[in-house]
Chains A and B, each alone.
Chain A
């Protein structure tokens, strides 16, 4: 069923919802700025990074290499090398901290300790725990706040077959422990059921390419076979335990093969009637709209719904650079506005096909979420067929405001150690300190996004 509703209807409602969300999430920015000197170091680092682009680059480069360093003296030495770069104008507070002559000295050690602690605290804002036990505590807290979750294991690149097998095993173990813990959870109406139908309490998110160390789109047949074997094991176990599984979308080179592999497995008799599985599409890709159209057709044929998480896409810089270096056509839009507009087009197509696909709208952009809500409310879309998603630590207030409005909100919770989690952490830090994040407006409509949750 495709319902035709004219665009202006959505637009008015979108703006109204966005305004409400904003007033519910507004940070007191002036106070925030005044407090800067009393803030903890982790917050101060973020504030410095936002104020000074040169410092931001050096700071994040330093953070990237920090967990690889093996002694305080090394940390102190790198700190000076990165932040002492002439391109960086240091705030007084940092100058003071870096003013040591010898990396082995007491002031050097102090600087190393202060920074390492601050980065650790920073990491814990976006990483929901280092171990399963810790992440379960976080999930408990989230559920009390009426937020459901998906858990993602932060992994280093899978480059050996032992690692690919270990990745699978970790997920089997994770699902086991989460479903075990879930037995003790008291039901939360807002997230555990929809239209009276119970929903799976546990969801995990996986990266498809991590199931085979030699995953290579040029070896489509071989890669698909290896990956499919491991996915079947995962999906079977998930069903036994009662867990839902969602697939992330990674870099563009992997997209076609990722979709083909999942479509293949999900049409097999054994998995054809599973509705607790999801895939991700990235609106920054120029061909993502047609991918969604294909998926709608495919889902109709399959006749059991699948979830589609719609996101903008996390690898914009990487994709852009890669295409430039290889002299390839750009797979991503080059204007942020084009991505935003495509995200809305796709939101609409997805929601208007809610009988065939369940929508999961993954964004921290108030306008993007408001648009989805406007359609959902106009079309009276059943609760089962829509949920709103955010990343852990990226939009706490927005999550609460959306949940208060009656939506099922799912928080994407990554867990794991800092070294393998670094790529994820750096992406979040970049997103959270990008100037556009704070004043990103979309076509004159209110588009202010919540400040980073603190």
Chain B
């Protein structure tokens, strides 16, 4: 149903939205279906540097008004946006499925997450807006939060609606004027987010949709002296670059920029001797190969205790072999394509490196059309091997053997990253230790390590996995705000009402 309707709309042009107007651009890029690259999802107009400057100027003009808009009103717009998404849920999920090659069930879960972000951050701003009061006789002290100014959101293609919506509405609801620069591969879905925000009542200049080349215009936005905040999700390389560039104070710039960056991981699941292997095997497969391993939270290392190593590996390989590989829109598909040719080639390169260093246990034939990579399992991998250290962002799993639980924890912690981690164990003392010693932002015990839910599992890591606190959690909005304290002496001529005394 939704598929037919969406298919009829493929190939349209999506222009940037600057100061409330859709502007024409000199360059365009095609966004294609990774399952079938001949199918063009949409043509996306790319913003020039000059247009980017115009957008910043428009944001600057819109800011005073938006800042003065009561938090309750801003929250109401978010809730409307959430409701609109809910109404268009199956259509939006279909766009996600086609544009980034994600299975419908997961695409649908992503739309839910986007809706949850709208409602959760609306509630959160209303909580924060109350601030704190420390009043005493003759003096009031008000602790209040204010927006920072102009926010640039640079969103990834792997959760094209959830993450883009989450970062954008967080910036908006806190009173910042926001520019959304989506990954080119998912710019059509980002345009849909724009449509929804406009329909929900976001004023012009407050939200702007600015698809652009990241390396040039994106970088220009990051360096812009009028930008206060950059919210980024993507690769470690780009994240580190943004962090460094944002730190350089430009001429005319009168503030230091805030960067929130979520950058990926090298996530491990430890399978303990006492694990329920039925569950561990299934959930490792889901965590490693769901959306072809292209989630920041995906499992790319599984650390298995020696007594169960053989048994576990045999079953893991067979279970993975049983997955169907095919286009995302086929309901029987377990593993779909990766995002584009560049990603595919990079992953294949890692697989070659893996073959040189360790032993390949599974590789399967894949469809010829589309950007497919076989789910791949390496065994007898050393903890220091390239494929056990670097983020691959594809369907490649390294199996590492550990002699005991101490060693398992040491291996798990032995990378640059600290995003998600998992433990399958029925040993109470190991479960307890992992809570203290497994250094990750999100630790999942006896369940899959992907699929965090807003508010229930606020999401985000540390070390080289990112800076900033957790999306969908109680500290997230604080990063978009500047607290100020207002102290007023309310005595006049030594006179002031004293509470409790008439």
Q: Is the CB–CB distance between A161 and B322 below 8 Å? A: yes
Given contacts A161-B322, A219-B331, contact A65 B104 (CB under 8 A): no
- CB of A222 within 8 A of CB of B332, answer yes
Residue B127 is within 8 A (CB to CB) of chain A in the complex: no
Nearest chain A CB to B354's CB is how many angstroms away? 23
Interface size range on A against B? 20 to 34
CB–CB B332/A161 < 8 A: no
Determine which residue in A85, A157, A159, A221 has the highest number of CB atoms from chain B within 10 A of its CB, and name it.
Answer: A159
Q: Please tell me the size bucket of the interface on B.
A: 20 to 34
| Contact of B282 with A by CB under 8 A | yes
Interface of B is mostly: helix
Q: Does A11 contact B (CB under 8 A)?
A: no
Asked whether any CB of chain A lies closer than 8 Å to the CB of B323, the reply is: yes
Query: CA–CA, A82 to B431, complex, Å?
Result: 12
Q: Is the CB of A163 within 8 A of B428?
A: no
- Does chain B have a CB within 8 A of A400? no
B273 in contact (CB, < 8 A): yes
Given the complex of chains A and B, what is the CA–CA distance between A68 and B104 in angstroms?
A: 36
Decide: B273 and A214 in contact? CB cutoff 8 A.
Answer: no
- Does A291 sit at the interface, judged by CB under 8 A? no
Give the shortest distance, in Å, between B279 (CB) and chain A (any CB). Answer: 8
Within the complex, the shortest CB–CB distance from A404 to chain B, in Å, comes to 41
Considering only CB atoms, which chain B residue lies closest to A219 in the complex? B331
User: Within the complex, what minimum Cβ distance (angstroms) separates B415 from chain A?
Assistant: 28
CB <8 Å contact, B104 and A218: yes
- A13 within 8 A of partner (CB): no
Determine the chain A residues whose CB is within 8 A of the CB of B427 once the complex forms: 65, 78, 81
Give a binary string over A299-336; 1 marks a CB under 8 Å from any B CB, 0 the rest.
00000000000000000000000000000000000000
Contact in complex: A159, B322 (CB < 8 Å): yes
Please give the distance in Å from A167's CB to the nearest CB on chain B.
13
Given contact pairs A157-B278, A219-B331, A213 touches B319 in the complex (Cβ within 8 A): yes
Which A residues lie within 8 Å of B319 (CB)? 159-160, 213
Given contacts A159-B281, A159-B282, contact A214 B274 (CB under 8 A): no
Which residue of A85, A160, A220 is within 8 Å of B315 (Cβ)? A160
Q: How far is the CA of A160 from the CA of B278 in the complex (A)?
A: 11
Q: Are the C-beta atoms of B331 and A69 separated by less than 8 Å?
A: no
A163–B276 touching, CB < 8 Å: no
> A31 at the A/B interface (Cβ < 8 Å)?
no
Cβ–Cβ < 8 Å partners of A68 in chain B: 273-277, 308, 426
Residues on B with C-beta less than 8 A from A162 are 318, 322
For the complex, give the distance between the alpha carbons of A172 and B70 in Å.
Answer: 71
For A76-87 the 0/1 string (1 means CB < 8 A from B) is 001001100100
Q: How far is the CA of A85 from the CA of B276 in the complex (A)?
A: 21
Interface flag for B321 (CB, 8 Å): yes
Q: How far is the CA of A210 from the CA of B285 in the complex (A)?
A: 18
* Distance of A159 Cα from B317 Cα, bound (Å): 11
| Residue interface bits A116-158, CB-to-B below 8 A is 1, else 0 | 0000000000000000000000000000000000000000110
- For A221, list chain B residues within 8 Å (CB): 331
Kindly state the separation between the CA atoms of A213 and B331 in the bound complex, as whole angstroms. Answer: 15
Flag B292-326 by CB within 8 Å of A: 1 or 0 each: 00000000000000011000000100110111100
Contacts of A213 in B (CB 8 A): 319, 322
Task: Please name all residues of chain A whose beta carbon is closer than 8 Å to the beta carbon of B275 when the two chains form the complex.
Answer: 68
Q: Does A95 contact B (CB under 8 A)?
A: no
> Which residue of the partner chain B has the closest CB to A222?
B332
CA distance A161 to B321 in the complex (A): 8
Nearest CB of B to A158, in Å: 9
Provide the bound-state CA to CA distance between A161 and B318, in Å: 8
A214 with B322: CB separation less than 8 A: yes
Cross-chain contact of B273 among A74, A218, A219 (Cβ < 8 A): A74
Asked whether A214 and B278 contact (CB < 8 A) given A81-B428, A159-B285, A159-B315, the answer is no
Q: Would you call A61 an interface residue if the criterion is a C-beta within 8 Å of the partner chain's C-beta atoms?
A: yes
Q: Is B429 an interface residue (CB 8 A)?
A: yes
Q: CB within 8 A of B321: which of A61, A69, A156, A160?
A: A160
Residue positions of A touching B, CB distance < 8 A: 61, 64-65, 68-70, 74, 78, 81-82, 85, 156-157, 159-163, 213-214, 216, 218-223
Q: What are 18 contact pairs spanning A and B, CB under 8 A?
A: A64-B276, A65-B276, A81-B427, A81-B428, A159-B285, A159-B318, A159-B319, A160-B315, A160-B322, A161-B321, A162-B318, A162-B322, A214-B323, A214-B324, A219-B332, A221-B331, A222-B331, A223-B332
B residues at A contact (CB < 8 Å): 104-105, 273-279, 281-282, 285, 307-308, 315, 318-319, 321-324, 331-332, 334, 426-429
Name 7 extra pairs, CB < 8 A, besides A65-B426, A78-B426: A65-B274, A78-B274, A214-B322, A214-B324, A214-B332, A216-B332, A218-B105
